[in-house]
Chain A
Amino acid sequence: DGGITQSPKYLFRKEGQNVTLSCEQNLNHDAMYWYRQDPGQGLRLIYYSQIVNDFQKGDIAEGYSVSREKKESFPLTVTSAQKNPTAFYLCASSQTSGLDTQYFGPGTRLTVL
């Protein structure tokens, strides 16, 4: 089945540790996105990438980093500089543009203790 996988579904980390969230897609999509979701806040864009080896900051990029070395993969690192990292993180992909239909993974719930 084609789709987007995110792992793990639940992640616990101690404060001050960096953590990397995985996102893989086999839809052959060019564009990939990372969103953060907090209760009552909707989805906020962290980073996006429209092509391999290139990515752009979204609205809340501070304290996060990404890489796009392969078309299929777009991992997100939550660094110790992110002041409030506990949240639900969603990865998405689309054919070429954010204005195309975005297909979402099941999400990773990160809890920093």
Chain B
Amino acid sequence: AQSVTQPDIHITVSEGASLELRCNYSYGATPYLFWYVQSPGQGLQLLLKYFSGDTLVQGIKGFEAEFKRSQSSFNLRKPSVHWSDAAEYFCAVGAGDDKIIFGKGTRLHILP
């Protein structure tokens, strides 16, 4: 069965600094991988997804993620964060049963 781990519960970065949120997955074949973002008290919004092809995926709001099969990782990056990026970020993995499994999330705090 597939699973996903987000090792960092909280991350704090200064506004304008670069960001990397870690995600590791467990699945035998090439998984479907997703990053979603959740603002406080709201639903989730898809940032980007990877199914196949180019391992560097561009998403909305200036985010990108890189699929690294050898490391079973799909880390989310942004070169320069804005105060509005403060939110909770969820990595998710999907397989052939049409469901996706969410990680426990990483809460991003931005220092002014």
Contacts and interface: CB of A to CB of B under 8 A. Distances in A.
A interacts with B: yes
Contact of A42 (B32, B99, B104): B104
B65 to A, nearest CB: 15
B44 interface: yes
Interface of B: 9, 32, 36, 41-46, 49, 51, 90, 94, 98-100, 102-105
A78 interface: no
Interface string A77-109: 000000000000010100001110110111101
A101 B22 CA distance: 21
Contacts of B105: 40, 42
Contacts, number: 51
A48 interface: yes
A106 B43 contact: yes
Given A40-B9, A41-B104, A58-B99, A90 B94 contact: no
A45 to B, nearest CB: 6
Contact of B98 (A40, A98, A109): A98
A11 interface: no
Contact of A43 (B9, B46, B49, B90): B90
Given A41-B104, A43-B90, A98 B44 contact: no
Contact of B103 (A42, A58, A101): A42
A97 B98 contact: yes
Interface string A38-53: 0011111100101000
B102 A43 contact: yes
A104 B44 contact: yes
A45 B102 CA distance: 9
Contact of A101 (B41, B42, B49, B104): B49
B6 to A, nearest CB: 8
Given A90-B44, A101-B46, 9 more contacts: A44-B102, A45-B99, A98-B100, A101-B49, A106-B43, A107-B41, A107-B42, A107-B43, A109-B41
